Amino acid sequence: MDLSNLIIEALGLQDVVIEKVEKDHQELSLRLVVRQQKEKCRCHQCGSPILYVHEWKERMIKGPPLGAFLYVTVTLYQLRGTCHICDGSVKSAKVPFVHPRFENMSLALCELAGRLMEEMPCAAVARFLKLNSKTIWALDQTRMKMMKPLMKLPENIDLSKMSADEVHFRTMPKLDSITKPEIKFVTNLVCFQEGKILSNAPGRSGGSLLKCLKVLSPEQRASIRLFAVDMHEPFIFTIKKLCPNAKICVDRFHLAERVNETFDELRKAEFKKAKDSNDSFQLGMLSPHRRFVLVEREKKLKKGDLKMLDKLKELNKNILNGMILVEHFHRMLDKIDVIEFRKSLMLWYGLVRESGLVPFRKLAKLIRKYRGYIEAYIDSRLTTAKSEGLNNKIKVLRRSGYGYTNQDSYLNKILQRCGYLNSKYINTASWFWGLAEGLA
């Protein structure tokens, strides 16, 4: 293979000859002048050979980077000639290496940009390749839609442990000063072993999780042994219905979040009392900006904070009881044996009754309701940690994109970054040189 053919192959061009090459080392740019090979030209409409030349039409096409030259421009002389199949009318020759929708970009450049956008924001890719950001965004959307029907789960994937959680999509503007703004969510189904999102759906209802689980076959759903969720009743109901062999585990993170919310409710009540009595020390200790110090486990606190807390405990019995209940609750969740957990839970129930604290009595009722699911967590130690980690990645994605308003785009982008909707799992190698009829 000579150098000209190597350059043609490297740029993803087909059935052309190079007539001229211009280089600019300062701008890192390369300009090629190429002409279609007449004997290989086919009618873009019917695919039959074009025998007679009517004219050579000049087109400007952007190509992918070539070595040190980051910006490649191809000036293509495209054949226009007579096609006998099409009633002898003048037709343009087909250019197989140009994207059918983005006609000033080669397929190789489109696929390279698409693969970059699997890891980088669209705006960053546009700046790197000196392309229009709106065009690049449209390319990313088109490519994801093309890949969506080709997406499938890897063979022999381990679905024994699963989790589901919702992530914020957008907050709709308020219609008036009275109604609350509508908050929209996306539900993600996560494979624990793979750490990947298998499917997603808009909303956070049971129907949302149902759509996610329907992606799996009945045999795959039956293979699920453990399923971690928060205390969201619609999710639990759907899992019981579709995954008959799955033990539901209530996630520890959400339990800790709930006990902290309960203590914060107590803190607010005591803060109001301190304000009424004008107790400056308690006002400072119970102020909102110190609420995380009050619920932090003692072994993680500094000596100065511990001394201040000891003084607060002497002055406020309710806060002391609340802190004892929070600490005992965490120790209870640290148990690795279900029998030991039950003993510790009975003791915690007794402490709640003796304290007489209304917020914790409400929490105790909630714990009784979900005790079986909490015991499943104690036995398996399965959490939604993978889901929460992916949620953080999704939040970074949303911020880097300056927010999303298109729901389908957001769902696809989540699957692209955190799932299987990307070139790592879908073979798109042929897309550098051509697209199948169904995709084009």
Residues listed for the chain:
440
195 assigned to some structural domain: yes
Q: What percent of the chain has pLDDT over 90?
A: 64
**What's residue 222's pLDDT?**
95
Model confidence pLDDT, tens digit, residues 75-106: 999 988 887 777 767 888 888 899 989 989 99
Same domain, 314 and 356: yes
Identify whether residues 322 and 227 lie together within a single domain. Answer: no
| Residue recorded with tokens 């692209």 | 416
Domain final residue, candidates 380, 404, 432: 380
Q: Judge contact between 324 and 266, C-beta under 8 A.
A: no
Whether residues 288 and 355 share a domain: the answer is yes
| Domain presence at residue 107 | no
324 shares a domain with 220: no
Does residue 103 lie in a domain region? no
260 shares its domain with 363: yes
Instruction: Say if 331 falls within a structural domain.
Output: yes
Domain count of the chain?
Answer: 3
- 115, amino acid identity: R
* Residue 19 DSSP SS3: strand
Q: Is the dihedral of CA 371, 373, 379, 381 positive or negative?
A: negative
In whole angstroms, what is the distance from residue 109 CA to residue 92 CA?
A: 23
Quickly state the pLDDT bin for 308 (edges 50, 70, 90).
confident
Q: Please check whether residues 373 and 256 belong to one and the same domain.
A: yes
Domain span including residue 343: 252-380
User: Do both 303 and 370 map to the same domain?
Assistant: yes
With a cut of 80, say whether residue 191 has pLDDT above it: yes
Range with lowest mean pLDDT among 113-117, 172-176, 295-299? 295-299
Contact 294, 305 (CB under 8 A): no
CA distance linking residue 43 with residue 20, whole number of Å: 26
pLDDT(174) > 60: yes
Mean pLDDT to the nearest integer, 110-123: 93
Nearest to 156 by CA among 220, 95, 206: 220
Residue 407 pLDDT > 70: yes
- Report the CATH number at residue 240: 3.30.420.10
366 found inside a domain: yes
The answer on 211 and 314 residing in a single domain is no
Q: With respect to residue 438, please indicate whether it lies within any of the assigned structural domains.
A: no
C-alpha–C-alpha distance, residues 341 and 345, integer Å: 6
Of 98, 127, 142, the residue that ends a domain is: 98
Q: Domain end: 98, 121, 145, which one? A: 98
Q: What is the pTM of this model?
A: 0.87
Please give the mean pLDDT across all residues of the chain. Answer: 89
Is 199 in the same domain as 313? no
Residues 273 and 374 grouped into a single domain: yes
Structure tokens at 180: 């609350």
Question: Does residue 374 form part of some domain?
Answer: yes
Query: Residue 276 above 90 pLDDT?
Result: no
- One domain for residues 263 and 308: yes
The confidence score (pLDDT) of residue 50 equals 80
> Is 39 part of a structural domain of the chain?
yes
Residues 184 and 38 in one domain: no
Q: 127-155 pLDDT, tens per residue?
A: 999 999 999 999 999 999 999 999 999 88
